Amino acid sequence: MTTTWKNLNVKIYFADAYSPWQRGTNENTNGLIREKFPKKFNFSNTTKNAVHKFILSLNQRPRKILNYLSPIEYLVRKII
């Protein structure tokens, strides 16, 4: 399903329920997060700094969907 956010003229896509193939990047990212932080992971033994470093590493990872740019590189190119 596609809709347009009228104020920004941005298309928004909603995946159908139980259709993970429609959310490829999201599902891949979830898998990467689960490798580092499995279900029932005890975050009380983890520092905020360690979590932030992991988030930064995800945002510095090149993505095929972004023409092999990292999300940070892609954002910088869009802003400039």
The 3-state DSSP class for residue 2 equals strand
Query: Residue 58 sits in which domain range?
Result: 2-79
pLDDT tens, position by position, 29-60:
999 999 999 999 999 989 999 999 999 999 99
The 3-state DSSP class for residue 8 equals coil
The 3-state DSSP class for residue 47 equals coil
Number of domains in the chain: 1
The 3-state DSSP class for residue 4 equals strand
CA angle 51, 57, 59 (to 5 degrees): 105
Contact (Cβ atoms closer than 8 angstroms) between residue 11 and residue 4: yes
Tell me the whole-structure pTM to 2 decimals. 0.69
